[in-house]
Amino acid sequence: MPLLLQAYAAEGLVRASILPQGGLGDLLEALDSIIVEASVMTPLDGRPDVREPRAEIATDDLLVVVAPPSTPAPVHASWHDLVLTVGPYRVEGLLPTLPGFDPGRALARPGGTFVLLGSARVSLAADPAAGGVEHPLAWVNRYAVESVEADLDLGIFFPGARSVVGHGAAPRATAGRPGPEVGTSA
């Protein structure tokens, strides 16, 4: 059964099928590009959808990738509210860290290109009030993040991003915290 890919790229929303070669998260980290089938790109500028029977997409071009429902959520995690600007998108979500995580003293560093977020709400950065789409789990290309607002310094997660610590935004109301039992995307 093919994996379904739903991703946000700089040009728009990509929906496609991937022949299973492992988990989607593993593919994002292991491959420079992904071969997709039945690809549909919905451009942000309002042009008609672009459909391709088969395409190759560079993983670096994917800014936010929606995690499939089978993706396991971290257990025993502390979840930190954050707001990211990634290309034309604003992403509000929850970053899992180990309990007691101190970024200034942490020896462990993220090892891959993508960072998993829970309760990820994706909207257009130019007009976040227009609404967005919430996904239970999503990966963010950490090297594409332009700015991050959070309650702690996350520079090690998002190198090169402008960081605002203690952004003062009230934590978002969520039914518990992300986990395997979180509902489906809207």
User: Which fold is adopted by the domain 3-66?
Assistant: SH3 type barrels. (2.30.30)
Which uninterrupted H or E stretch holds 108? none
Contact call for residues 117 and 172 (beta carbons, < 8 A) = no
> Residue 131: what pLDDT?
86
Domain 78-165, architecture per CATH: Roll (2.30)
> Residue 73: what pLDDT?
87
Is 103 a residue whose pLDDT tops 80? no
> For all residues of the chain together, what is the average pLDDT?
86
Give percent above pLDDT 70 in the chain: 86
Average pLDDT over residues 89-117: 85
Written as one letter, the residue type at 6 is: Q
Residue intervals of the chain classified under CATH 2.30.30.100 are 78-165
Ramachandran region of residue 16, left (φ > 0), alpha (ψ -120 to 50) or beta? beta
Ramachandran region of residue 46, left (φ > 0), alpha (ψ -120 to 50) or beta? left
The token pair that represents 72 in the structure block: 């396991």
> Residue 13: what pLDDT?
97
Is 177 a residue whose pLDDT tops 80? no
Is 167 a residue whose pLDDT tops 60? no
Is 179 a residue whose pLDDT tops 70? no
Rounded CA gap, 149 and 41, in Å? Answer: 29
Average pLDDT over residues 61-86: 92
Q: Among 79-88, 150-159, 171-180, where is mean pLDDT lowest?
A: 171-180
pTM metric for this prediction: 0.86
Write phi, then psi, for 27 (nearest 5 degrees). Answer: -65, -40
Contact call for residues 28 and 139 (beta carbons, < 8 A) = yes
